[in-house]
Structure 1
Amino acid sequence: AIEREKPNEGLILHSDQGVQFTSWAFVDYCKENGIIQSMSKTGCPYDNAPMERFYKSFKAELIYPNKFNTEDQLDEAVNRYVHVWYNHIRPHSYNGGLTPFEARNLA
């Protein structure tokens, strides 16, 4: 995503305090790529409500109803879900009924 989107300097990645986000490898990756890490307080999922909501939709709409036989199938389905369906087709009440792509273009 970083190579494709080429984000502006000062990119902030907000996450919970899961081990995948606190590992030295991930912390180093963020530093090497100029990503500022921001984490929710321990035991406070409301700090990360937008991502919690995304993962609820992601699991309900893609993961639970489907079976993936290979890692390639899963990878293709995740990319299609995020980059086509979720960002460009699926309206979001948070964005006033706009897709994330439409909302970003209006910003």
Structure 2
Amino acid sequence: MRRFLCAALIALTACVGLAAPAVGQTQEQIDQAFLTALGERGVPVSDDAKALELAHQTCDLLNNGGTTDAALQLIQKAQKKWSRDDVVTFGGLALYAYCREHLPPAPAQ
């Protein structure tokens, strides 16, 4: 679990191309930013619609009380060919784009 949270934070800080959803930003714009961020980080996505669905399923699981380990397992099961790094990156970006309330708090500076 700690690895996922750390990776999510790393993904968060690396999210230059995935800006915070702005007031008035459409779902389509958020989705496109998410897909672009996946591509920039080398996560192999062969079907954009399935990637978006998986990102929303990941957040749904967490929103319904699921654990980060369960979220990672969901992603890995859906994308068996992805490396652990791909799974963690996808998860961190999904949280950042769609359910930031599940990201760990930023460390105090």
Same fold (TM > 0.5)? no
Higher RCO (C-alpha under 8 Å, 6+ residues apart):
2
Higher strand share: 1
Higher helix share: 2
Q: Between Structure 1 and Structure 2, whose CA radius of gyration is higher?
A: 1
- Per the normalisation by structure 1, the TM-score is 0.30
- Per the normalisation by structure 2, the TM-score is 0.30
